[in-house]
Amino acid sequence: MLSWFPWFRRLPPRCTSHTLEQRCFVFLLSPTGPLKHRRLTPPGNLARLHDSISPDLAACPREPAQSRRPVEPARHVRLSARSRPYRLARLPRLGSEAAGEEEKPPSREYRVSSAAPQGMAVQELSLEYTRCASDAPDHPTFAPMPGKFVDSAFKNSGTPIDAQWSAERNFNATLSTGASAPNTTRCWLTFTIPDSMGPPVLFYYHLTNFYQNHRRYVESMDQQQLKGDFRSYGDIKGSKCTPLYGDKNNGTDKPYYPCGLIANSLFNDSYSNPELLNPSGATGNETEPYNMTTKGIAWDSDRDLYGPTKYKPSEVLPPPNWAKLYPNNYTEEHPPPNLKDWEAFQVWMRTAGLPAFSKLYQRNDTDAMKDGRYQMILEDHFPMLEYKGTKAILLTTRTVMGGRNSFLGIAYIAVGGVCIILGAVFTVTHLIKPRKLGDHTYLSWNNVPASKPSGPSTAVASGREMRPGEA
């Protein structure tokens, strides 16, 4: 592409670009001035690498005319003193002159690394706990989780995750409203984070075989009620919330708030913050919590759809599946929730397009999650086995390209492969049996009969001059 640059033509092939030890040198080609170069320092820990190219590489000597055939790049480049047209040396580490350090002797072998720069790859840990209540040993005994329930992607892939679980059955849990939930299973998880993560660090719950995309399910809500407007029992009964529009209470018909199938099936498992076991500097069995927040997990466009309700506690009923959360219905002590500020509810109400999906539960945008051994406590309330599905927790980071998802890459490669195959088939078909080109002079509107009935004349555009005898 750049062969038309005058200065580019004078350079030997190896003077145009080099990538040694994750250092990048960009050569600025100028048709009016001398060749210059600039050293770029990669982000993250790569800035500590000090192998590079000597600055005198910019003044590459001219060589006799050579073939312009491009040189194949080599992953391992060994340069000898006989074959080098210019000298390679090592630059001192940054700040070495001030520290008085001596330069190391030049090395004759350079290795080009293809590893992703640190801080750019997405790191992720997924732990499925669907069968914790039935398969995990009684607390405080821990057992390794089956390998099929653990999935991870870390830069330091050689360190085992060593995920273990333990079940504390018949636990008397206390819900956010202060209500008691007896016979609850608490699942204890321990796992190892091989590399420091984030920030931001995002915590999702992942469900499978749960069809939020069913047409009747997606439409089962009353948008005016969610916005905070007062909607009577009659209004809700005629809305799309049917059949979960309301019920009788003390002989009075009352609407559900919020009504509909989506709100009734709200995901209600709860999770503690991850705790780092035996942090550095700790004495005994101290732990260091990694604090996460449920603020900022919903989209701004979602929050605009909700508002404080105008209902009084005695005018509405909680949905049937919220009975544990509000055992005595809504009261002055425990009024209906403020959907405007309940971001976990807003995330759930944004229905997923596929039966396997992840929804954001909490996050930390400021602190990195240190590497080490962690512990989490999960309260199992959501009956996933009734849907023959699974549920898992997902700790992940993200980049400017998003999270870890190979679907688009696979889809692009598959579509590209199909296009290549079809192109080859069409090419072979054309070579074996080409299509004859048509002559536009044989088009019907170009063949005007010699004798035509009287009437208004019709202009004929043939696209060419008339031949002799074609009056």
Same domain, yes or no, for 102 and 200? Answer: no
φ, ψ dihedrals at 368, nearest 5°: -80, 145
Cβ distance 94 to 50 under 8 Å? yes
pLDDT beyond 70 at 231: yes
Average pLDDT over residues 365-379: 94
Give the model's pLDDT for residue 18: 40
Tens of pLDDT along 184-222?
999 999 999 999 998 899 999 999 999 999 999 999 999
> 88 in a domain, yes or no?
yes
Asked whether residue 390 is assigned to any structural domain, the reply reads yes
Please determine, for residue 343, whether its predicted confidence score (pLDDT) is greater than 90. Answer: yes
> Does a structural domain hold residue 286?
yes
For residues 107 and 129, state if they share a domain. no
Mean pLDDT of 254-268: 96
Question: In this structure, are 266 and 396 located in the same domain?
Answer: yes
Same domain, 206 and 347: yes
Q: Domain ends where: 77, 111, 145?
A: 111
On whether residue 461 sits in a domain, the answer given is: no
CA 161 – CA 190 distance, rounded (Å): 9
Q: Whole-angstrom Cα distance, residue 166 to residue 191?
A: 12
pLDDT tops 90 at residue 85: no
Does any domain span residue 326? no
State whether 154 and 177 are in the same domain: yes
* pLDDT of 292: 96
Number of domains into which the chain is organized: 2
For the ranges 35-44, 165-174, 449-458, the lowest mean pLDDT is seen at 35-44
> Is the same domain home to 82 and 180?
no
Which of 381, 408, 435 marks a domain boundary?
408
Q: 133, 114, 117, 158: which is closest to 19 by C-alpha?
A: 114
| 302 and 202 within one domain | yes
Residue at a domain's end among 408, 440, 465? 408
**Per-residue confidence (pLDDT) for residue 41, from 0 to 100:** 39
User: How far is it, in rounded angstroms, from Cα 185 to Cα 83?
Assistant: 71
Kindly state whether residues 209 and 358 are assigned to the same domain: yes
Mean pLDDT of 144-150: 94
Residue 453 domain-assigned? no
Would you say residue 175 lies in a domain?
yes
**Do 213 and 85 have their domain in common?**
no
Under the banding of pLDDT at 50, 70 and 90, the label for residue 458 is low
Please tell me whether residues 189 and 93 are part of one structural domain: no
Assess whether 189 and 87 both reside in one domain: no
Q: DSSP string covering 133-164, please?
A: HHHSPBTT--EEPPGGGEEEE-SSTTS----E
158 plus 282 within the same structural domain: yes
Residue 280 lies inside a defined structural domain of this protein: yes
- The pLDDT value recorded for residue 212 is 95
Give the domain extent around 170. 124-220+260-306+342-408
Q: How confident is the model at residue 251 (pLDDT cuts 50, 70, 90)?
A: confident
pLDDT in tens, 383-414: 998 889 999 999 999 876 666 777 778 999 99
